[in-house]
Amino acid sequence: MSTHTPIHVLFLCTHNSARSIMAEAILNELGKGRFVAYSAGSTVSEDQRPHALALEALNHAGLSTEGLKSKNWDVFAQPSAPHMDLIITVCDNAAGEMCPVWPGHPATAHWGYADPSLEQGSSEHQRDAFKRTLMLMRERLEHLVSLPTAGLERLVLEAHARELATR
């Protein structure tokens, strides 16, 4: 087991019901303790829950959905919140919003993904949209976790995370 402090990553989206939730689950699996992922949204209603098809896609991919819940990003701007090393917005809406000031000034990046919950058509077509989004996220996150420890310093991490947005 590594003695290194894990890299804390926060994925942000508007409602914290699909893309950010999926990214959190994927990175927690791939990161195996080297990374610890969280997710939150800018506009989360009190009764907001993770999207059923997001949870289904994660389960289908063999990823744990235990403990996943929608939460407002204000939770992570509190002094008692874990320190974030990297914050990644995963939808266009959250990328343009005024974010809280994050303690420690973490590295940031934007990885835009189409909202699979807006997909029209049959239920199978909608499921496929969630599966596609999950596969695209997994590919980028596999690259992130493959970085050597030296590549995880704040500025280098930010540069790598932003470069991955083009993949």
Residue 1 lies in a domain: no
93 is a domain residue: yes
Residue 93 has pLDDT above 60, yes or no: no
3 state DSSP class of 82: coil
Is 165 within the bounds of a domain?
no
Crossing angle of the two packed helices 19-31 and 123-145, in degrees rounded to 10: 40
Note down the domain range covering 103. Answer: 7-160
Q: How many domains does the chain have?
A: 1
Q: How far apart are the first and last CA of the chain?
A: 31
Residue 71 pLDDT exceeds 90 = yes
Residue 40 lies in a domain: yes
pLDDT digits (tens, 9 = 90+) for 135-153: 999 999 999 999 887 667 7
pLDDT at 96: 55
- CATH code for position 72: 3.40.50.2300
Does the residue 153 lie in any domain? yes
How would you class 136 by CB atoms within 10 Å of its CB: exposed for 0-12, middle for 13-18, buried for 19 or more?
Answer: middle
Classified as helix, coil or strand, 159 is helix
Average of per-residue pLDDT values in the chain? 88
pTM, two decimal places: 0.88
Residue 14: pLDDT band (50, 70, 90) is: confident
pLDDT of residue 100: 66
Residue range 62-90: mean pLDDT, rounded: 92
